[in-house]
């Protein structure tokens, strides 16, 4: 079992190291979110399953704090309101659970950040497309095969792995880095 643990940790570490090829992209994402907050705009985060949990986690880091005691930042996880999600799913279709919320709450120059390990989640892609049509900047987080998502966003971070757990680990790590850098840029 020790060999299996070592192999999994090694794969995770190598995947993280490969992310260094996307440093400029991560910096661009930090700057986009920072400028949106400076202009009094909102950040919307959303995803399904584990990506939903990560969207909720990252929204909490922006609203409350990452490392600094500071003013709250307007970040909203769109996958947390069960009444809205079940209403849209029942009355329309599950594919629209995020796009309808973007339509209702979003405004030009806000930022929409969708997470999908596959890059193929219909509800995430529809929300990102709706956001772009409204003049909302779009960020996608996906895995190595997420080229479909890459074609519909302004910024696409692709975790360099095809294994869902490794993708999610990198998404959380890079998400934390973004939160920390946005916070330090705005408040230090």
Find how far residue 113's CA is from the centre of its chain.
4
Architecture field, domain 2-187 = 3-Layer(aba) Sandwich (3.40)
User: What are the structure tokens assigned to 122, written together?
Assistant: 């219909």
Name the residue ranges covered by the structural domains of the chain. 2-187
pLDDT at residue 132, rounded to an integer: 97
- Its pTM stands at 0.97
The DSSP output letter for 152 is T
Tally of CB atoms within 10 A around 2: 6
135 phi-psi bin (left φ>0, alpha ψ -120 to 50, beta other): left
Tell me the mean pLDDT per 10 residues along the chain, length 188.
95 97 98 98 98 98 97 98 98 98 98 98 98 98 96 97 97 98 96
Query: Which residues, 6+ apart, have CB-to-CB distance to 177 below 8 Å?
Result: 26
Tally of CB atoms within 10 A around 148: 15
Nearest Cα neighbor of 94 from 64, 65, 126, 120 is: 126
């Amino acid at each position: 079992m020790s060999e299996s643990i070592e192999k999994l940790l090694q794969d995770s570490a190598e995947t993280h190291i490969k992310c260094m090829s996307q440093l400029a992209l991560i910096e661009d994402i930090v700057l986009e979110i920072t400028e949106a907050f400076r202009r009094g705009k909102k950040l919307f985060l959303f995803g399904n399953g584990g990506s939903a949990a990560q969207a909720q986690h990252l929204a909490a880091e922006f609203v409350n704090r990452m490392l600094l005691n500071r003013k709250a930042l307007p970040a909203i996880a769109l996958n947390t309101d069960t009444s809205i999600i079940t209403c849209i799913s029942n009355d329309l279709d599950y594919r629209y659970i995020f796009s309808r919320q973007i339509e209702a709450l979003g405004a030009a120059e806000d930022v929409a950040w969708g997470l999908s390990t596959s890059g193929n989640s219909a509800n995430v892609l529809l929300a990102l497309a709706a956001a772009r049509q409204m003049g909302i900047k779009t960020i996608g987080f996906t895995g190595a095969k997420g080229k479909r998502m890459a074609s519909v966003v302004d910024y696409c971070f692709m975790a360099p792995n095809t294994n869902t757990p490794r993708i999610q680990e990198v998404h959380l790590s890079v998400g934390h880095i973004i939160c920390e850098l946005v916070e330090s840029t705005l408040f230090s």
